[in-house]
Amino acid sequence: MSVNPSVTPLAPQGGRGELVRLVRRIPGRRSVGWLSVRHSLRIEAVGILAMYGLSELARGLAVGNTAEADRHAHQLVALERSLHLFAEASVQHGVDALPGVSGLLDIAYVTLHLVLTAGVLLWLHQRRPTAFAFARTTLLLASGVALVGYLLYPTAPPRLAAVGIADSVSNGRIDLNHGLVGSLYNPYAAVPSMHIGYALVAGASLMRHGRHRIVRVLGALYPLSVLITIVATGNHFFFDAAAGAVVVALAAAGAAVVTRRAAASDTCFSGELSVGIGTMASGELAVVDAELGTVSDGPVPLLPISQPAAQR
């Protein structure tokens, strides 16, 4: 291999692997890189649980003034009526006419949101690893955007806004207003609805990556079933669901940018290494252009390569 005579041949201390590790420490690469790749199940579980816990803690700050939350709810009712979309009471009455369905939806509202979302993430992590990072990053970004809505526009759910919709989740086996569940639940964090947001991500993942038709069909039906659940139980307006869909669309766009940019960065980085580093037989050190000494937080430690005896 020919070497530019104007540049003293240098080799990185610790070899090529050390150079790769130093380059990957460049500020900004780590945060984007973490979101763009799939990590071990333990790391992913800890990270997602921590983010969800912080999200729920921040949601508690959205309680604010209940009078303000009631006013916002009535604003949404007025908006839906102006668009001829205020049909939440009709949905609830239709479900109540089916024996036992209302109670099942109450349980589904509390449990399905987390259980099925976690199940889909686990399935993607284990069976569709290339799709996991995009879905996980979409959920994290959507949750962050939703917090802004909860803080800026606290809204009472229909069941607490005195708009003719019954409260079906406070007087039966499920009680969202009292006890342990009530202490962890903030009813005024309603706009946007992340029940719908998470359902869209889970459903789209099943439709896109399911290999069997039944899985894809269930993925298509799941968001609709969640919409019926959140409306029939009196926990959300249709507007809340529409806002949740918009938030997820924005989050998905952001996740796509993050994953594509990280992929492009890795491709460019690999190309630069292939140009600057020539791997020699039997694992010997490669010759590196001296300009690579500036690609980390500090200069890469470089050592002169011994010249062949014939050139001394």
Q: Where are the domains of the chain?
A: 38-266
Confidence (pLDDT) at 8: 43
Has residue 127 got a pLDDT over 70?
yes
pLDDT, average across residues 166-180: 66
Q: Give per-residue pLDDT as tens, 28-66.
A: 455 566 777 887 888 888 888 887 777 777 666 656 678
The pLDDT of 10-28, averaged and rounded, is 47
Report strand pairing: 10-12 vs 302-304.
Answer: antiparallel
pLDDT of residue 149 exceeding 80, the answer is yes
Pick the range with the lowest mean pLDDT from 120-134, 158-172, 214-228: 158-172
What pLDDT is attached to residue 111?
86
What pTM value is reported for the model? 0.73
Asked whether the predicted pLDDT for residue 273 surpasses 80, the reply is: no
114 with 176: CB under 8 angstroms? no
Are 214 and 84 contacting, i.e. CB atoms less than 8 angstroms apart? no
Question: What confidence score (pLDDT) does residue 219 get?
Answer: 96
For residue 254, the model assigns a pLDDT of 93
Q: pLDDT (tens digit, 9 = 90+) per residue, 278-292?
A: 443 334 434 434 444
Residue 119 has what pLDDT? 94
